[in-house]
Amino acid sequence: MHNGGRWIEGYGCHINVLISMKIIMKNFGDFLSSRPSGKEAYLSAQAYIFPSKDEADMIELDFEGVKVLTPSWADEFVTPLAEQWGNKLHFLHTDNLSVKATLEFLKQIPIA
């Protein structure tokens, strides 16, 4: 049975594991607003944070502590990640009203 993870050898058998990378979005700021800021965050994360698909099976964006997320910022950061990772991109702590509204809104925009 294979659930999309990777097989590793351990304890005398093969184990299927899923490796997820969690990205703490508050590290980019409490207020995630404007396209230039989102783009800069994405480029920086691309250089130093994002895993390759060899290194991780999924990415989790954790929005705990984020106060404002605008669609412009998210379109520069989240949209390209969604294009690369598809349904392997997950979101955590999306209760904040602006985070929820923005992520739901982005889902409706067709990805080119």
Those residues whose C-beta lies under 8 Å from the C-beta of residue 39, and which sit 6 or more positions away, are: 76, 77
> Which of 21, 24, 49, 68: binder of other proteins (CB under 8 A)?
68
Min dist. Cβ of residue 64 to other proteins (A):
14
Q: Report the alpha-carbon angle 10-6-27, nearest 5.
A: 105
Identity of the residue, 8 or 111, whose beta carbon is nearer to other proteins in the bound complex: 111
Those residues whose C-beta lies under 8 Å from the C-beta of residue 83, and which sit 6 or more positions away, are: 111
Min dist. Cβ of residue 70 to other proteins (A):
4
Show contacts with other proteins in window 4-63 (CB under 8 A). 30-31, 33-37
Identity of the residue, 15 or 92, whose beta carbon is nearer to other proteins in the bound complex: 92
Distance in angstroms (rounded) separating the CA atoms of residues 2 and 5? 7
